[in-house]
């Protein structure tokens, strides 16, 4: 069992320069704590995501860490020129000594891509064009491609990734079909669904993986959760409730501005509601161990992904929760899974 982090890099209410400085201090704690990978969301025009340029933000992460892998979850592919994106991936992978992880998707919000002039109906086709060019550019010395939105004729690729044939690819899986595609392509995935729904994804993934790859070891199959650890259950819940409300406002900000609702529906307003739904965990180390042990087993995953910092958490509050997780929760879950 490995442990990762998911971070919307959502606004906390402090000035931007202080915000980024605090986030890098937290990332250094993740690096010291022995986490596997730091996954960062890409969002635009909203306080939900202040790492609007993942490559710029992750260049800072690369310089502040030594072991921690990192990458977007996901790059919003329809917003990129594929050759420029490929070059940035190569640079980050080389500068970090092979720690880059590449999450890809068409983006959860059509409002964000439309703000850049990309019509919602184009997103899937743009995603597929860019994905094909990106994979070719990461693995070959020249790119030749003709699609609906991009065409290249033997364009040289001077840069190359450190990891061969390319850095690991990640997706955010939300259906059995997407999980099966990820398996056939050899991609890792993270689910933010309930444990029961995630089990449908991991079952589909394992079946497709066996058909395509036989008995080869599985990639990472992840389950994401909001996680807050405190000295008492009451303290952890109080922090989770307060911070989640701020995160919730950020999550719905752009949708409300446009007078609509999120693509996958409104999120629960209260942290207590997502506790019952399985998407949030808060309490003492013992409480969190029990909840996570049960949910990870039910979901059939081999990778636990925590969203430890969200909303208006202060630097001290975040570091305190992460320290308890690293000191008490991680070792216990590793022992139980072993």
Mean pLDDT of the chain: 96
Q: Give 276's pLDDT tier (boundaries 50, 70, 90).
A: confident
Region for 31 from its dihedrals, namely left if φ exceeds 0, alpha if ψ lies in -120 to 50, beta otherwise = alpha
What confidence score (pLDDT) does residue 44 get? 97
Judge whether 261 lies within some domain.
yes
What percent of the chain is predicted at pLDDT more than 90? 95
What DSSP string describes 107-166?
Answer: -S-HHHHHTTT--GGGHHHHHHHHHHHHHHHHHSSEEEEE-SS-EEEEEE-----SSSS-
DSSP β-ladder status, 102-105 and 75-76? parallel
Over the stretch 283-328, which tens digit does the pLDDT of each residue have?
A: 999 999 999 999 999 999 999 999 999 999 999 999 999 999 999 9
Judge whether 248 lies within some domain.
yes
Judge whether 251 lies within some domain.
yes
> Looking at the whole model, is its pTM more than 0.85?
yes
Judge whether 113 lies within some domain.
no
* Boundaries of domain holding 248: 1-9+220-338
- Asked whether the predicted pLDDT for residue 139 surpasses 80, the reply is yes
Judge whether 50 lies within some domain.
no
Q: Give 263's pLDDT tier (boundaries 50, 70, 90).
A: confident
Instruction: Answer whether the bond into residue 131 is a cis peptide, omega within 30°.
Output: no
- Asked whether the predicted pLDDT for residue 338 surpasses 80, the reply is no
Q: How far apart are CA 161 and CA 118, in angstroms?
A: 29
Mean pLDDT over 87-113 rounds to: 96
Tokens of 252: 């719905």
Judge whether 149 lies within some domain.
no
Mean pLDDT over 168-196 rounds to: 94
Higher pLDDT, 276 or 104: 104
Judge whether 207 lies within some domain.
no
CA separation, residue 187 to residues 105, 178, 276 (Å): 12, 11, 30
Mean pLDDT over 74-84 rounds to: 97
Judge whether 212 lies within some domain.
no
What confidence score (pLDDT) does residue 320 get? 98
CB 243 within 8 A of CB 310: yes
Q: Give 336's pLDDT tier (boundaries 50, 70, 90).
A: confident
Q: Give 266's pLDDT tier (boundaries 50, 70, 90).
A: confident
Q: How far apart are CA 124 and CA 235, in angstroms?
A: 44
What confidence score (pLDDT) does residue 337 get? 75
Angle at 125 between CA 119 and CA 128, to 5 degrees: 135
185 CB-near residues (< 8 Å, 6+ apart): 169
Q: Residue 319, Cβ neighbours under 10 Å: how many?
A: 18
Tokens of 312: 């208006």
Mean pLDDT over 226-240 rounds to: 98
Q: Give 264's pLDDT tier (boundaries 50, 70, 90).
A: confident
If one counts the domains in the chain, the total is 1
CATH code: domain of residue 318? 3.20.20.30
What percent of the chain is predicted at pLDDT more than 70? 100
């Amino acid at each position: 069992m490995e442990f990762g982090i998911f971070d919307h890099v959502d606004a906390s209410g402090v000035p931007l320069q202080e915000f980024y400085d605090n986030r890098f201090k937290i990332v250094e704690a993740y690096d010291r704590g022995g986490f596997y990978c730091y996954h960062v969301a890409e969002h635009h025009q909203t306080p939900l995501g202040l790492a609007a340029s993942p490559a710029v933000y992750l260049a800072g992460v690369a310089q502040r860490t030594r072991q921690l892998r990192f990458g977007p979850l996901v790059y919003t592919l329809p917003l990129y020129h594929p050759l420029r994106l490929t070059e940035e991936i190569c640079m980050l992978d080389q500068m970090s000594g092979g720690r880059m992880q590449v999450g890809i998707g068409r983006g959860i919000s059509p409002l964000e891509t439309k703000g850049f002039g990309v019509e919602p109906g184009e997103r899937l086709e743009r995603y597929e064009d860019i994905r094909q060019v990106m994979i070719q550019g990461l693995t070959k010395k020249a790119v030749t491609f003709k699609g609906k939105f991009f065409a290249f004729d033997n364009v040289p690729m001077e840069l190359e990734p450190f990891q061969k044939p390319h850095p690991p690819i990640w997706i955010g899986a939300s259906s059995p079909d997407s999980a099966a595609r990820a398996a056939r392509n050899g991609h890792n995935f993270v689910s933010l669904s309930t444990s029961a729904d995630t089990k449908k994804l991991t079952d589909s993934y394992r079946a497709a993986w066996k058909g395509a790859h036989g008995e080869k070891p599985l990639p990472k199959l992840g389950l994401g959760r909001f996680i807050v650890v405190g000295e008492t259950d009451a303290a952890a819940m109080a922090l989770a409730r307060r911070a989640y409300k701020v995160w919730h406002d950020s999550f719905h900000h752009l949708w409300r501005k446009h007078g609509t609702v999120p693509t996958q529906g409104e999120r629960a307003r209260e942290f207590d509601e997502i506790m019952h739904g399985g998407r949030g965990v808060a309490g003492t180390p013992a409480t969190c161990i029990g909840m996570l042990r049960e949910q990870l087993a039910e979901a059939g995953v081999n990778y636990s992904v925590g969203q430890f910092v969200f909303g208006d958490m202060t630097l001290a509050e975040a570091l305190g929760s992460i320290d308890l997780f690293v000191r008490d929760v991680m070792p216990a879950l590793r022992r139980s899974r072993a």
